[in-house]
Amino acid sequence: MPALEGSNLDASAKFTSREYYDLSMLESVPRFAKIAIPLLTILNLLLLVWIYEEYLHNRFLRIYVNDSLQTGGSTAIILLSIGFLAIASMVLFTKLVGYRRELDRILATGTFRPVEEGFVNRSTRRLKRILSRLSRKLRGSRGLNRPSATH
């Protein structure tokens, strides 16, 4: 594809040109790193589970950790936060890979996939429906329980 001039871009060229969207982020990562990073992440998660199991069943490790940190609550907080961060990083990485595949598909075909209804939109619409039904019920019950002027 020829080099694009800044003023001569039409809408279809923006979605089909690799020069316009620099998608070389994952392509610039060495193959070794693409293999090593997920393997090391899995290894770290396995070590986290192993240390947690060892902490639960080995009283000497439990005494050592509790003495080192002075409280058992801080250990739980630390382990939970490390686990949460590990899971969050894996989720974000898989989402990044999915978005990259979608962008590659868009660039390859020049078309968009039909927009799917997301979890947030679905939940928002469901919540609005529930609140409107609830408000109708509340208005209806107030109308029936309202004291009349003759009593």
Q: Can you give 130-145 as a three-state secondary structure string?
A: HHHHHHHHHHHHHHHH
Question: Is 1 part of a structural domain of the chain?
Answer: no
Task: Indicate whether 46 and 73 sit together in one domain.
Answer: yes
Distance CA 36, CA 79 (A): 24
Task: Indicate whether 100 and 140 sit together in one domain.
Answer: no
Q: Can you tell me the mean pLDDT for 119-140?
A: 82
Residues in the chain: 151
Contact status, residue 110 vs residue 15, Cβ threshold 8 Å: yes
Contact status, residue 113 vs residue 105, Cβ threshold 8 Å: yes
Task: Indicate whether 60 and 45 sit together in one domain.
Answer: yes
Higher-confidence residue of 146 and 36: namely: 36
Task: Indicate whether 103 and 125 sit together in one domain.
Answer: no
Task: Indicate whether 67 and 130 sit together in one domain.
Answer: no
Buried b (16+ CB within 10 A) or exposed e, 52-72: eeebeeeeeeeeebeeeeeee
Task: Indicate whether 102 and 32 sit together in one domain.
Answer: yes
* pLDDT at site 110: 72
Q: pLDDT (tens digit, 9 = 90+) per residue, 27-86?
A: 777 888 889 999 999 999 999 999 999 999 999 999 888 887 776 567 778 889 999 999
Q: pLDDT (tens digit, 9 = 90+) per residue, 83-105?
A: 999 999 999 998 888 888 888 88
Task: Indicate whether 96 and 142 sit together in one domain.
Answer: no
Question: Is 3 part of a structural domain of the chain?
Answer: no
Domain boundaries, position 134: 117-146
Give the pTM.
0.33
Task: Indicate whether 65 and 88 sit together in one domain.
Answer: yes
Q: pLDDT (tens digit, 9 = 90+) per residue, 113-125?
A: 555 566 667 778 8
Task: Indicate whether 25 and 87 sit together in one domain.
Answer: yes
Contact status, residue 21 vs residue 100, Cβ threshold 8 Å: no
Task: Indicate whether 31 and 75 sit together in one domain.
Answer: yes
Distance CA 1, CA 3 (A): 7
